[in-house]
Amino acid sequence: MKIGTVLQLLITQANKQNKKYRCKIIDKNDKYLFIDYPVDVKTKKTAFFNKGTVFDVFFIGEDEVVYHFRSRLAAKVKLNIKALAMTLPEELKRVQRRNFVRVDAAVDIAVHSPDQLFPPFTTVTNDISGGGVSILLPKHKKLKGKLVELWMVLPLAGGQYVYPHTKAELVFDKEGENGITIAAFKYVNIDQKMQQSIIRYCFEKQREARRKQLLD
């Protein structure tokens, strides 16, 4: 893990079971990782933790694979800015399939029926994650059957594009108060490299949102 790496933190304490935060590594030594103050993924507010708080930590390595480790908040410190010291991981585990980062994003997507149950159509996503995606269903378009094929166009940092293609299963489709129908899918037997590209995109979108927040 290098300085500048974005981390995703999950609280493992029972009273904060579903809390998710993001931060980045600003320094390190042979005992600790030093991170800036984490931001709540949902509220976008800076979070404060007691010494001893335990986190499940996720990050994307230089090989574009997602890794997980368990860490504990050791101390509050002051470097150039206020920071937190976290214990170094005793063990890193590769995450094969994990849906833990979901971002709002409107990217182009094509939807096909592998059994030709409906004509192919294009639309945009509503949100996206490493485990599934939801789309805006165009008017007069009907989904038949549970299985679809999806083609996405994801813009990455540095002007790169990736084009994930996977089969997916319909989880639900429902009409919102604004009359727009949302259809949600979970990926089926997605290629690991494609999934890692999607997860990388999600992390980059979160990092971009955080940078904009800091500039506001």
Residues 6+ apart with CB under 8 A from 89: 57, 69, 70, 71
Q: Of the segments 88-97, 159-168, 177-186, 200-209, which one has the largest average pLDDT value?
A: 159-168
- Across the range 204-213, mean pLDDT stands at 73
- Three-state DSSP at 89 gives coil
- Residue boundaries of the structural domains of the chain: 6-94, 102-213
* Phi, psi (deg, nearest 5) at residue 26: -110, -15
Q: Which comes out higher in pLDDT, residue 92 or 94?
A: 92
Query: Domain 102-213: which CATH class?
Result: mainly beta
Q: What is the distance between the alpha carbons of residues 71 and 54, in angstroms, rounded to a whole number?
A: 6
DSSP code at position 97 = S
What is the dihedral angle through the alpha carbons of 150, 42, 72, 14, rounded to the nearest 10 degrees?
Answer: -100
Task: Inform me whether the pLDDT recorded for 70 exceeds 60.
Answer: yes
Task: Inform me whether the pLDDT recorded for 63 exceeds 70.
Answer: no
Residue 56 corresponds to which amino acid? Answer: D
Q: What is the distance between the alpha carbons of residues 151 and 143, in angstroms, rounded to a whole number?
A: 16
Q: Of the segments 99-113, 119-133, 185-199, which one has the largest average pLDDT value?
A: 119-133
Q: What is the distance between the alpha carbons of residues 128 and 185, in angstroms, rounded to a whole number?
A: 10
Query: Domain 6-94: which CATH class?
Result: mainly beta
- Across the range 86-108, mean pLDDT stands at 77
Is residue 92 very low, low, confident or very high in pLDDT (cuts 50, 70, 90)? Answer: confident
- Three-state DSSP at 205 gives helix
* Phi, psi (deg, nearest 5) at residue 83: -145, 170
- Three-state DSSP at 91 gives coil
In sequence order, the β-bridge partners of residue 112 are 149
- Across the range 138-148, mean pLDDT stands at 88
Q: What is the distance between the alpha carbons of residues 100 and 161, in angstroms, rounded to a whole number?
A: 22
Residues 6+ apart with CB under 8 A from 140: none
**pLDDT, tens only, 158-168:** 888 999 999 99
Query: Would you mind telling me the total number of residues written for the chain in this entry?
Result: 216
**pLDDT, tens only, 1-58:** 788 888 988 875 555 455 788 899 999 998 899 999 998 877 888 888 889 998 889 8
Q: What is the distance between the alpha carbons of residues 34 and 40, in angstroms, rounded to a whole number?
A: 18
Task: Inform me whether the pLDDT recorded for 181 exceeds 70.
Answer: yes
Burial class (CB in 10 A: 0-12, 13-18, 19+), 51: exposed
- pLDDT score for 84: 93
Task: Inform me whether the pLDDT recorded for 98 exceeds 70.
Answer: no
Q: Among residues of the chain, what percentage have pLDDT more than 90?
A: 35
- Across the range 78-103, mean pLDDT stands at 78
